[in-house]
């Protein structure tokens, strides 16, 4: 059994106060996984934050915040980020009871290097 850490304690405390809190945490984790996947794609393609920001008509600092913080990014920002990398984001509504599917699925592009 793994030892509980501070985050586990905070989640347990907040869950006791608000039964809906765990679902908020799960949603935040899914958003973070998507942003982490986009950041990884950017690095794999050896594109700088500055280059991606220029393609998005944004700033390097906004890309850095998007990639490294727990901010709640707007859907339009995530869409623009994906587009700047040559991807698009698709949204799927999945019943809560079936929520075990992977939250991020990246399909290879036809022009992907092998």
pLDDT tens readout for residues 85-111: 999 998 887 787 766 666 777 887 777
Q: What is the largest CA-CA distance in the chain?
A: 50
Region of 70 please: left (phi>0), alpha (psi -120 to 50) or beta: alpha
What pTM was computed for the model? 0.75
Question: For residue range 31-40, what is the model confidence (pLDDT) as tens digits?
Answer: 888 999 999 9
Half-sphere exposure of 101 (CA within 13 A, CB side): 11
78: domain CATH number is 1.10.260.40
Instruction: Assess whether pLDDT exceeds 90 at residue 28.
Output: no
Q: Which string of DSSP letters, residue by residue, matches 96-110? A: GGGTTS-S---PPPT
Structural domain of residue 81, as residue ranges?
Answer: 6-97
Q: Please state, for a pLDDT cut of 70, what percent of the chain lies above it.
A: 90
Q: What is the pLDDT of residue 114?
A: 44
Structure tokens belonging to residue 41 = 């794609």
- Residue appearing with tokens 């799960």: 26
Does residue 107 belong to any structural domain of this protein? no
Domain count, the chain: 1
Does residue 110 belong to any structural domain of this protein? no
């Amino acid at each position: 059994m793994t030892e509980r850490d501070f985050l586990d304690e905070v989640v347990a405390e907040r869950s006791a106060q608000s039964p809906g809190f765990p679902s908020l945490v799960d949603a935040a984790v899914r958003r973070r996984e998507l942003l982490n996947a986009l950041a990884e794609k950017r690095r794999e393609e050896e594109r700088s934050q500055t280059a991606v920001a220029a393609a998005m008509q944004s700033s390097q600092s906004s890309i850095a915040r998007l990639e490294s913080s727990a901010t709640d990014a707007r859907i339009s920002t995530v869409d623009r980020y994906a587009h700047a990398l040559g991807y698009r984001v698709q949204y799927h509504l999945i019943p809560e009871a079936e929520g075990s599917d992977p939250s991020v699925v990246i399909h290879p592009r036809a022009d992907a290097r092998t």
